[in-house]
């Protein structure tokens, strides 16, 4: 009897060339009529009875480990990860002063790992999530040690934490063989565009503002430990435009009354998080003035940019791109911000 119905349906689980390789249903599922079964009907029937449909889910979802929760930026980023339908890793590094053992974002629960457990936690997450990108919004003092740990663990990362030594971070990435990273003091798309514009002006017209005076004033929530990393980056462009200014001269405003009075920060964002920056340039005789301002209330614009960076980095990694280190201006240029 022809074994017309002896079709064994099964799912193959071939070893993936790379853990980030996407699921291809055409590769995964095959149906065929075995020539062996055609020759031996009895065996075919028993095989048929025992035939098991095995479906192995090979789709490896992108998971994001957000370190620094329950801090402001990490919390906002974790919410954005869930909102975009990505997997939020179920553990995260936290700081020494955090008493909570868990954090929740958009219904996803995250166990918090305290400093003595950080190395083991990174290993657990790497083993658990084959396609993982780490986000770091921690503390200036933690930025470099964390980056060293990510690089040693072979974990690609997006770091928005400011106040660290960026050259050392880059070295850690270079030393690794397969770690991809985005390092940037500002993840907000339009502010990144502003940074890029100042950088381009400095490249095009070096010294154009020679002789001008500049004041830089930034207001943030009182818990911000360092001088704004964004302001430092913009000052670098101004220096190339001919302005004589040192990052030490950036005026930091951290008192609520001054933030509201001098910078017009709305009261509800005084502690919730704000970033108001004013750069004022005056010609030598005082007859010409320029003012550049970017004022951000809340954390939403940074969280969105951070997850753009995560998705961008994941793509580059999957492609095996030879460039492994990016800043947000690179990503904006390539069209990687939504």
CB 66 within 8 A of CB 137: yes
Task: Name the residues that contact ligand NDP, by CB under 6 A.
Answer: 67-68, 70-74, 93-98, 115, 137-140, 142, 146, 160-163, 184-187, 223, 229, 302
Which C-beta is closer to ligand LZUJQKHR: that of 160 or that of 314?
160
**C-alpha–C-alpha distance, residues 313 and 59, integer Å:** 18
335's contact among ligand NDP, ligand LZUJQKHR, none, with CB below 5 to 8 A by partner kind, is none
Establish if 336 lies at the interface with ligand LZUJQKHR (CB under 6 A).
no
Q: With contacts defined by CB under 6 A, name the span among 149-157, 168-176, 222-230, 327-335 that binds ligand LZUJQKHR.
A: 222-230
CB 157 within 8 A of CB 147: yes
Identify residues 129-168 at the interface with ligand LZUJQKHR (CB under 6 A). Answer: 162
Q: Considering only CA atoms, which of 284, 52, 306 is closest in space to residue 157?
A: 306
Q: Minimum distance between the CB of residue 70 and ligand LZUJQKHR, rounded to whole angstroms?
A: 15
Which of 220, 274, 294, 317 is an active site residue? Answer: 220
Q: Please name the residues in contact with 127: beta carbons below 8 A apart, sequence gap of 6 or more.
A: none
Establish if 327 lies at the interface with ligand LZUJQKHR (CB under 6 A).
no
Pairing of strands 213-220, 274-282: antiparallel
285: exposed, middle or buried (Cβ count in 10 Å: 0-12, 13-18, 19+): exposed
Q: Is the dihedral of CA 80, 267, 194, 142 positive or negative?
A: negative
CB count within 10 Å of CB 23 equals 12
336's contact among ligand NDP, ligand LZUJQKHR, none, with CB below 5 to 8 A by partner kind, is none
- How many residues of this chain bind ligand LZUJQKHR (CB under 6 A)? 10
Chosen residue from 186, 195, 219, 327 binding ligand LZUJQKHR by CB under 6 A: 186
Which of 189, 224, 294, 317 is an active site residue? Answer: 224
Which C-beta is closer to ligand LZUJQKHR: that of 60 or that of 250?
250
Q: Considering only CA atoms, which of 136, 147, 169 is closest in space to residue 69?
A: 136
CB count within 10 Å of CB 196 equals 17
Using alpha carbons, list the distances in angstroms from residue 59 to 9, 81, 130: 19, 18, 11
**Is 146 in a helix, a strand, or coil?**
helix
184's contact among ligand NDP, ligand LZUJQKHR, none, with CB below 5 to 8 A by partner kind, is ligand NDP
Q: Minimum distance between the CB of residue 220 and ligand NDP, rounded to whole angstroms?
A: 8
Pairing of strands 87-88, 91-93: unpaired
**DSSP class per residue in 280-331:** EEE-TTS--EEEEEEEEESSHHHHHHHHHHHHHHHHHHHHT-S--EE-HHHH
User: What is the enclosing helix (H) or strand (E) of 100?
Assistant: none
Establish if 230 lies at the interface with ligand LZUJQKHR (CB under 6 A).
yes
Q: Minimum distance between the CB of residue 127 and ligand LZUJQKHR, rounded to whole angstroms?
A: 32
Residue 220 annotated as catalytic: yes
Which C-beta is closer to ligand LZUJQKHR: that of 61 or that of 268?
268
Chosen residue from 68, 273, 305, 336 binding ligand LZUJQKHR by CB under 6 A: 273
**DSSP class per residue in 182-209:** EE-S---HHHHHHHHHHHHHHHHSTTTT
Establish if 224 lies at the interface with ligand LZUJQKHR (CB under 6 A).
yes
Q: Minimum distance between the CB of residue 320 and ligand NDP, rounded to whole angstroms?
A: 27
Establish if 237 lies at the interface with ligand LZUJQKHR (CB under 6 A).
no
Catalytic machinery residues: 220, 224
Q: Which residues bind ligand LZUJQKHR (CB under 6 A)?
A: 162, 185-186, 220, 224, 228-230, 273, 275
């Amino acid at each position: 009897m022809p074994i017309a119905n002896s079709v064994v349906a099964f799912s193959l689980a071939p070893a993936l060339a790379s853990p980030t390789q996407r699921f291809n249903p055409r590769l995964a599922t095959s149906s065929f009529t075995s020539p062996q079964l055609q020759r031996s009907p009895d065996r075919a029937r028993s095989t048929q009875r025992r035939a098991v449909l095995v479906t192995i889910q090979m789709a490896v979802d992108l998971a994001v480990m957000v370190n620094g929760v329950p801090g402001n930026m990490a919390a906002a980023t974790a919410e954005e990860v869930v909102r975009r339908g990505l997997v939020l890793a179920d553990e995260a590094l936290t700081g020494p002063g955090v008493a909570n053992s868990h954090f929740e974002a958009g219904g996803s629960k995250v166990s918090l790992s305290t400093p003595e457990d950080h190395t083991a936690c990174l290993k657990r997450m790497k083993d658990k999530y084959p396609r993982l990108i780490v986000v770091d919004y921690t503390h200036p003092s933690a930025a470099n040690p964390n980056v060293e740990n990510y690089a040693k663990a072979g974990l690609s990362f997006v770091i928005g934490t400011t106040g660290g030594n960026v050259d050392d971070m880059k070295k850690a990435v270079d030393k690794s063989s397969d770690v991809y990273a985005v390092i940037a003091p500002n993840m907000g798309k339009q502010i990144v565009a502003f940074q890029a514009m100042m950088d381009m002006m400095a490249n095009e017209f070096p010294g154009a503002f020679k002789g001008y005076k500049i004041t830089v004033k930034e207001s943030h929530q009182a818990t911000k430990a360092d001088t704004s990393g964004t302001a430092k980056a913009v000052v670098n462009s101004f220096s190339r435009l001919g302005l004589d200014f040192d990052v030490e001269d950036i005026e930091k405003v951290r008192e609520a009354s001054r933030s509201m009075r001098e910078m017009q920060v709305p009261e509800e964002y005084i502690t919730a998080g704000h970033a108001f920056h004013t750069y004022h340039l005056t010609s030598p005789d005082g007859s010409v003035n320029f003012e550049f301002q970017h004022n951000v209330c809340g954390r939403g614009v940074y969280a969105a940019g951070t997850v753009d960076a995560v998705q961008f980095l994941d793509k580059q990694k999957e492609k095996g791109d030879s460039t492994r280190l990016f800043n947000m201006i690179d990503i904006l240029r390539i069209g990687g911000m939504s």
